[in-house]
Chains A and B, each alone.
Chain A
Amino acid sequence: MPQANTGVNDFAFKLANVNGTGSASANGLLMQAIFRMGIPVSGKNLFPSNIQGLPTWYEIRVNKDGRTSRALDYDLIVAMNAQTYARDIKEVRTGGYLLFDSTWPLDRALRRPDVTFLGVPFAQLCVEHFRESRERILMKNIAYAGSLIALLDIEWSVVEALLQETFGKKKALLESNHKALKLGYDFAKQNFECPLPFRLQRMDANGDKILIDGNTATALGALYAGCTVAAWYPITPATSVMESFKSLCERYRKDPQTGKNNFAILQAEDELAAIGMVIGAGWAGARAFTSTAGPGVSLMNEFLGLAYYAEIPAVLVDVQRVGPSTGMPTRTQQADLLSCAYASHGDTKHILLFPAHPAECFEFSVKSFDLAEKFQTPVILLSDLDIGMNDWVVPRLTWNDDYRPDRGRVLSPEQLEKLAAFHRYSDEDEHFVTPRTLPGFSPKGAYLTRGSGHNRLGGYTELPEEYQAVVDRLAQKHRAAAPFIPPAVIESRRSTRGKGKGRTPFSLVTLGGCDAAVREALDLLSEMGVPGDYMRIRGFPFGAEVETFLNAHDVNYIVEQNRDHQLKSLIALETNVPKEKLRSMLFYGGFPLSAGQVVEGLLSALGKSEGEAARGLGGMPEALSGAEG
């Protein structure tokens, strides 16, 4: 029998279920229990675009060092879906375990000598102990959670507390969940050696961190930024942004005296209308936003161009999913970059923000409203399904009560009074922003907002010089926003002493949710003797540091989740970095990235096998050949 993983707080397991059988609560319970034991953990929901019946997986990675990218190496798989047995069994690593429902015999041919098979008759146990058929299905999941408590050494008291919190007042539910947990637990205790060689042990690595998904954090940002109007149309994976925003508003935005809402959330008839409403509200002076995914962004294009040209603040949250077209709605990608950067016809450019995890979703969500008003333009927050819908361990979100919204240049009636005349598109500040007025406040500030050619005075024009003056200022304004975009995160794994000192042959550059995997990959590469530098770009327009960093490296591998190297293209288009310095490393199958994939990608780009690297690559080759994008 090959050696099993004996790591404490360092392993990964995967739960294979059937969609719609209620496994989400069992999986969430496990994830949260591990989190509460103070152990760094991450969970990835790999679910189908289907309500019931298709296979669905949930992966949990436990890592004492705080590694949270997706693990592809499973020490344990809980196989509850007979349809996917063959595939699941194949994925267990040598020396690993398979926990399965032994109510039905497992095909002999599927067994592997290098894997330990642990059979628990979950279905049978539930049939014996529960009466209703729906309950029998649901409780099977809780029962496997029970077995895992025994096998992985999860603390009972933690699970107990979680059940109390979830079902507190629903006594019957609490009891049946308890019963199911015990069934699985007792069976495992009596029949297997518990715990497994790899297991959990309480630690204190989570401090006062929280477990939260990106969509909830984004919604919190909108709430704290003082957004009052939201318009949306349902779409996976963005729907929960608005659902969270709504429930937060119900809780925090009711006028205590009247019980009336200090907000308006409008479920629009489509995305065209949703962004139109946001623009109308922004024009009237409210902080407004919409949330959507790729197909919605496609529909919003015309309006985004209007807001850009007429200079109206608007915030758009794009929780990216796999395209093109309807694509794979429940899979993740970073493929809306270019379509968002230049959304709409004509010369149009937008401000983009790329959060990497829920804490940044919160921070950048607030920031989008400030940037949108400061620069009087649409701001697009580019999240994705992995960030948005999975739970992440992140630092506790905090708030500075001194924060006041940056409303940008809005003239008050008093300021208007002092002006000889008001002209919407004249008198720009150092950021090329011109003052605006809001309807309803002063007779003096009235003007006609138009998406047709206008001059500095706001009047219609078809004169080349007048038209160009305005669009040139818009280009300058976009560039002027760069210093206000969160700067790139830059790190070095390179020694500052010895042989490698001063040489910077390669870097890994990425954005958004690839962060964890790429950083972990760089650590692994460092250990192999292939140290590289790191940069995570956090928004567009790019800050000066982006270009400086890229120029300082012979080769920059740009890791992104799309087929057409969109970040690389945007860099090539919008900076003066020589193209030879930019190489692509692309992953776009729809699943979150793992560090192993990046390591493999880099080694093959360098033309080295992992073995060679391990034997020591020493100094870096002068010329790095490899992946071309």
Chain B
Amino acid sequence: MPSIAKPSAAPSGSQTNDLGLTVRDYEGAMSTLCAGCGHDSITAALIRALWELSIQPHRIAKMSGIGCSSKTPTYFASGAHGFNSVHGRMPAVATGAAAANRGLYYIGISGDGDSLSIGLGQMSHAIRRNVRMLYVIENNGVYGLTKGQFSASADVGSKLKKGEENRMAPIDPAFLGLSIGATFVARSFSGDKQQLVPILKAALKHRGLALVDVISPCVTFNDHEGSTKSYLYTRKHERPVAQADLVPPAEEILAPIGAKGVTTIAMHDGSLVRFSALPEGYDPGDRAKVLPYLQEQQAQGLIPTGLLYLDESVPDMHEMNNTTDTPLIQVPFESLCPGSGALEELMEGFR
């Protein structure tokens, strides 16, 4: 995919993070997406989140499939390895890479076409496997790269630019994730950086697969009246549900656990996610209540956003497989190969 290098001069007076890096250090090549594409705003939020968490860029593995959204890895963390694979198959590649080297931050970027049509199976199974990764769906309701066909997330009645109306029920990634056991489910809006950045930070710290569905208007093919994934429609119908904050491990916890409207969940590395839930009684740790709430909101045409559900208790892929803590690629060959003696012994069993 085309990419254009950015001018190298850093803006003066840039703040640095714990690693001494500026936000600029988390940027990638210049985006070649359409001006105003929602995906670019998500990139910006990601850059911010990575910078704020002081993650070493080369400890990041950026994974994607095919689509405008899947081009995103080029546009952030140029110091990270990236893998732009094939359409809909990012989850398998990420799963294999994570199996081989559990020591990296895996960031999978996908589109609604990539994940909800051709890649629905792989996405579902990565969720079931609870692969430790941030899984972003840049959801615009259309296929951008192939010029505007309906995707599986288009709402009933939503219209294409030329007026064609969608009749099939949408696949909602948040519903799907919740129903098959996702341990982290969030939805956000590319235009709401305030909300998105903390969600991404929490997602990066999650022990397991963090599914983040981001409504990301396609300004070229799906940002018009009649589209339910347009900028205006989303702005109007967004309903923040659970405002989340990530509190780093070292910091003192200011909001007492159990305070009214505040829930705190501890992440694997000791950091905390502090929820201030907006609707009365919304508990982001209770799957049984989250689902009906979302359905009820959806019925009214509303788009509930925020970190909707979080469960840190489920083992991730490595725990389920009892894999050694050392990344497999670092286990020395000497302890992998049983050697000639063992083979000789084994051969006796074939006599």
Which residue of chain A has the shortest Cβ distance to B88 in the bound complex? Answer: A272
Task: List residues of A (259-278) whose CB comes within 8 Å of B's CBs.
Answer: 259-266, 268-270, 272-278
Interface size on A, residues (CB 8 A): 73
Of A397-405, A558-566, A577-585, the one with at least 4 CB within 8 A of chain B: A397-405
Partner of A228, one of B58, B98, B329: B329
Q: Would you call A252 an interface residue if the criterion is a C-beta within 8 Å of the partner chain's C-beta atoms?
A: yes
Known: A228-B336, A266-B95, A277-B96. A440 touches B59 (CB 8 A): yes
In this complex, how many residues of chain B approach chain A with their Cβ under 8 Å: the count is: 63
A400 touches which one: B74, B104, B124, B340 (CB < 8 A)?
Answer: B340
Q: A253 interface residue, CB < 8 Å from B?
A: yes
Rounded to whole angstroms, the CA-CA distance of A266 and B73 in the bound complex is 26
Closest to B57 in A: A443
Which of B99, B101, B331 interacts with A266 by CB under 8 Å? B99
Which A residues are closer than 8 A to B by beta carbons?
36, 208, 210-212, 220, 223-226, 228-229, 231, 252-253, 255, 258-266, 268-270, 272-286, 288, 302-303, 306, 396-401, 403-405, 437-443, 445-452, 459-460
Q: Is the pair B343, A280 in contact by a Cβ cutoff of 8 Å?
A: no
B residues in contact with A451, CB < 8 Å: 84-86
Q: How far is the CB of A314 from chain B (nearest CB, A)?
A: 10
Which residues of chain B have C-beta atoms less than 8 A from A226's C-beta? 333, 336-337
Residues of B within 8 A of A441 (CB): 58
Known: A273-B122, A404-B333. A398 touches B343 (CB 8 A): yes
B103 within 8 A of A: yes
**Interface segment, one of B204-212, B296-304, B320-328:** B320-328
CB distance from B80 to the nearest CB of A (A): 6
> Is B92 within 8 A of A449, CB to CB?
no
Q: How far is the CA of A211 from the CA of B350 in the complex (A)?
A: 5
- Given contacts A258-B325, A260-B325, A280-B94, whether A399 and B343 have CB atoms under 8 Å apart is yes
Inter-chain CA distance A452–B91, complex, in Å, is 18
B3/A460 in contact, CB under 8 A = yes
Map CB proximity to A onto B87-127 as digits: 1 under 8 Å, 0 otherwise. 00101111111111101100000000000000001101100
Nearest neighbor of B338 in chain A, beta-carbon distance: A252
A to B CB contacts below 8 Å, 18 in the list: A229-B99, A231-B95, A258-B324, A263-B328, A269-B124, A276-B92, A277-B92, A277-B93, A280-B98, A280-B100, A283-B93, A284-B61, A285-B329, A437-B81, A439-B97, A446-B82, A447-B82, A448-B81
**Measuring CB to CB, which residues of chain B are less than 8 angstroms from any residue of chain A?**
1-3, 56-59, 61-63, 73-74, 78-86, 89, 91-101, 103-104, 121-122, 124-125, 129, 318, 321-325, 328-329, 331, 333, 335-340, 342-344, 346-347, 350-351
Q: Knowing that A36-B351, A264-B321, A448-B82 touch, tell me 9 more A-B residue pairs with CB under 8 angstroms.
A: A258-B324, A258-B325, A261-B323, A264-B100, A272-B122, A276-B122, A284-B329, A447-B81, A451-B86
Return chain A residues, CB-CB under 8 Å to B1: 450, 452, 460
Which of A229, A260, A397, A399 lies in contact with B324, CB distance below 8 A?
A260
Q: How far is the CA of A437 from the CA of B122 in the complex (A)?
A: 27
Q: How far is the CB of A332 from chain B (nearest CB, A)?
A: 22
Are B79 and A448 in contact, CB atoms less than 8 angstroms apart? no
Cα–Cα, bound, A288→B343 (Å): 21
A276 pairs with B329, CB closer than 8 A: no
- Select one of A220, A261, A278, A283 contacting B321, CB under 8 A: A261
Q: Chain A CB within 10 Å — which of B3, B333, B336, B342 has the most? A: B336
Task: Give the shortest distance, in Å, between B63 (CB) and chain A (any CB).
Answer: 8
Whether the pair A284, B338 counts as a contact (CB closer than 8 A) is no
**B83 partner, pick from A212, A259, A283, A437, beta carbons under 8 A:** A283
Bound together, the chains give a CA A269 to CA B321 distance in angstroms of: 16
Question: Do B3 and A280 touch across chains, with their CB atoms under 8 A apart?
Answer: no
Report A194 CB to chain B, min CB distance, Å: 28
When the two chains form their complex, are residues A396 and B347 in contact, meaning their CB atoms are under 8 A apart?
A: yes
A276 lies within 8 A of B96 (CB): yes
CA distance A216 to B292 in the complex (A): 51
Report whether B99 and A264 are in contact in the complex, using a CB–CB cutoff of 8 Å. yes
Of B103, B125, B339, which contacts A268 at CB under 8 A?
B125
B329 and A438 contacting across the interface, CB-CB below 8 Å: yes
Complex contact B92–A268 (CB within 8 A): yes
